Chain A
Amino acid sequence: MSSRDDILKRIRLRLGRTEENAAARRGAIDAVLARRAQGPRPAVEADLVARLRGRSEALASTVEIVERIEDAPAAAARYLAAHQLPLSAVAWPQLAGLDWVGAGLQVECRAARGDDLVGITGVFCAVAETGSLVVLSGTDTPAANSLLPETHIAIVPAARIVPGMEEVWALIRAECGDLPRAANFISGPSRTGDIEQTLVLGAHGPYRVHIVIVR
């Protein structure tokens, strides 16, 4: 008997499963899946921009708010200059339409490699409750750009800020149908506490996360 059949057979035996009640239970789980019941949720204030900003800053990210998407490249350049970081970056192909050169940045729109120092991404959406950026893998939105570089700059349209994780799933179902290969929730710079439980930023992922919210 295969391990699969053996494991399932023993589970069925222990649960007192028979052919008849198996069919009933399959129906019951369909009902659970269809219901998609939500659990208790904490209150999230109506001003989602303020909540996202407050939470992100508490997680050691930095935030700047700009009025228009055209202002985002200049905001990124300002941040990099202020922190004496390189003015060259890799960005999502999805952001190729922005005027990076005009902002004084040298930007290549491609997937990040191991030695790229600055990665610029958009987001699929952001979660106000926890201060999380949600990025989905895809041809124009490579996962590596928010992971490999030492600095991650994310452009977040205010209209894409949702209250909680439940709304993220609803948005993915509505706009993508199914889940992408990777849905990543990013909440602040990478960190570790593995040596003497002392918090250090920049474990394997970015040391810095800068969020540019576009109103």
Chain B
Amino acid sequence: MEVRSMHFKARAGAAAADKALQAKLSTAKGLFVEGRKRAVAEIDLEATREASKAIRDTCLADLDVWLERFEQEATKRGGRVLWARDGAEICRLVVDIARRHGVKKAIKSKSMLSEEAGLNAALEAAGVEPVETDLGEYILQINGNEHPSHIIAPAIHKTKEEVAELFERVHHRPRKTDIGEMTREAREMLRAHFLSADMGISGGNFLVAETGSVALVTNEGNGRMVTTLPRVHVVITGVEKVIPTLEDLATLMRILPRSATGQTISNYFSVLTGTKRPGDTDGPEHHYFILVDNGRVGLVGSDFQDMLRCIRCAACMNHCPVYQTIGGHAYGWVYPGPMGAVLTPLYVGIENAIELPHAATLCNQCGVVCPVKIPLPDLMRKLREQQVERGLRPWGERAALRLWSWLARHPGLYALAAKLGVRYLNWLAEGEDRIRVMGIAPSWTAGRDFPAPEGRTFRELYKTNRRDR
């Protein structure tokens, strides 16, 4: 997917002015936030978060040997394990597999890596019809390959009227107004694809090293269709997704659906191992894994390794005041919200996503709800530091900081500057308690007022109070 994160400011500005978008986001927020709160109350949340973090850390600390083990066990059971360095290689491998097995149509269950790679375009170019089957992803695909704006609720930015109009236009059926009827119409459209596809493509929530299995979490049942009906199944997933045992899977499954949608368990949870067995009436004859780097390996052993624990639940964005206001599209790539603000610069280059680590209030709501205890605000702060170290900040900011640091080393001048500054601000306030337009930084006051100084500077007050004693 093309990276548009450089345009964050402009897109965030437009989104912040979009009242309809905020109404949709606020409904979703209520559901996800309240749902999670209820669901986590049933478990020992802190102990489960600590255990989940430990499971992910165990694998990241010895990622090479865990991956070797996973590959060994998956191969033993009839799976084929392939590796991709980047998105282009994912596309090449999937197209090769499609050609080898004479595939005309590929049905897809949600895979964010397929978004990273722009896989649908590559499949179409190779003459394979890709069909997204997650309802949200399907809505976006038939709307001219629109991008998702949330990792688990991809069409969160659409109203039912927009969907009704889209379905009428694309399905050539009478317009529906009821969400249940619209869902049935999509079901009927997609059922035909499920039954006729040659290849299923899915992501993977976890890879289990013990058994060489992939674990898939879905609600609609499309994940099961995609991995049961076609004769070829391709799993595309990041190298960081490996976990040791089925017991670890049980632990993580107590916290993933709860953190994501507030469910105690997702409707469907499938553990898939190898190919169709002799005598089986369903299941794929060919089972491929594509284990992907695409920037992940660079995080191993770095200051940002904690980010690789992420299990893609979306709790961070569901709880983020910034995401709540601007939605997912403004972030400009596959991953929005706090996890996107950290992952995007790390995967596409810090210089290509300058604003994202600043798209935060550092309130740490994301850190508090993260099921694997990723310190998201700390990582954003580290990215900000790297921007400064690499000289990537705008010249005005750099000059201002240099001036401030020089002043701070000269206390007399600092006091004088503060005094003049207060006078200047009081002059701007024109006798009011607030400044409506800040002359030297007008964008600061574009959306809010700046409080006028109360009177004397801290140093002046300090001096007086000491004398009083």
Contact = CB atoms under 8 A, between A and B. Distances in A.
A181 B270 contact: no
A147 to B, nearest CB: 5
Nearest to B264: A130
A56 B398 CA distance: 60
Contacts of B64: 8, 11-12, 15, 17, 22
A131 B42 CA distance: 14
The 7 closest A-B pairs by CB, nearest first: A205-B221, A39-B251, A203-B220, A139-B279, A194-B136, A14-B301, A165-B250
Interface stretch (B10-18, B45-53, B436-444): B45-53
Contacts of B269: 132, 184-185, 187
Contacts of A215: none
Interface of A: 2-4, 6-8, 10-12, 14-17, 22, 25-26, 28-29, 32-33, 36-42, 55, 59, 110-111, 114, 130-132, 137-139, 142-144, 147, 164-166, 169, 178-198, 200, 202-206
Nearest to B251: A39
Given A147-B224, A178-B211, A187 B267 contact: yes
B120 interface: no
Interface stretch (B175-183, B364-372, B449-457): B175-183
Interface string B296-338: 0110111000000000000000000000000000000000000
B65 A164 contact: no
Contacts of B274: 181
A40 B47 contact: yes
A6 B85 contact: yes
Given A8-B68, A26-B65, A181-B273, A197 B51 contact: no
Contacts of B254: 39, 41-42
Interface string B155-199: 110111001000000000000000110111001001100110000
Interface stretch (B238-246, B350-358, B379-387, B417-425): B238-246
B271 A200 contact: no
B147 interface: no
Interface in B270-285: 270-277, 279-283
A196 B24 CA distance: 7
A194 B153 contact: yes
Contact of A197 (B27, B211, B298): B27
A25 B63 CA distance: 10
Contacts of A33: 69, 209-210, 244-245
Nearest to B221: A205
Interface string B259-273: 001001111111111
Nearest to B305: A14
Interface of B: 24, 27-28, 31, 42-44, 47-48, 51-52, 55, 58, 61-69, 77, 82-85, 89, 133-136, 139, 153-156, 158-160, 163, 179-180, 182-184, 187, 190-191, 194-195, 209-211, 213, 219-222, 224-225, 227-229, 239, 244-251, 253-254, 261, 264-277, 279-283, 291, 293, 297-298, 300-302
A138 B277 CA distance: 8
A16 B280 contact: no
A150 to B, nearest CB: 10
B315 to A, nearest CB: 15
A15 B250 contact: no
A42 B42 contact: yes
B47 to A, nearest CB: 4
B281 A111 contact: yes
B92 to A, nearest CB: 10
Contacts of A15: 61-64, 300-301
A182 B244 contact: no
Contacts of A42: 42-44, 254
Contacts of A37: 245, 247
Contacts of B83: 2-4, 7
Contacts of B159: 196
A40 B221 contact: no
A111 B283 CA distance: 12
Contact of B220 (A4, A114, A191): A191
B43 to A, nearest CB: 5
A139 B280 contact: yes
Most buried by A among B24, B77, B82, B270: B270
B297 A10 contact: yes
A179 B79 CA distance: 14
Contact of B267 (A11, A143, A189): A189
18 contacts: A2-B83, A4-B82, A6-B85, A8-B67, A25-B62, A39-B55, A40-B251, A55-B264, A144-B282, A169-B250, A179-B271, A181-B274, A183-B273, A187-B269, A193-B219, A194-B153, A197-B156, A205-B224
A59 to B, nearest CB: 8
Contacts of B51: 39-40
Contact of B224 (A3, A16, A143, A195): A143
A164 B47 contact: no
A165 B82 CA distance: 30
A193 B318 CA distance: 15
A206 B268 CA distance: 11
Contacts of A147: 221, 224-225, 228
A185 B268 contact: yes
A192 B20 CA distance: 22
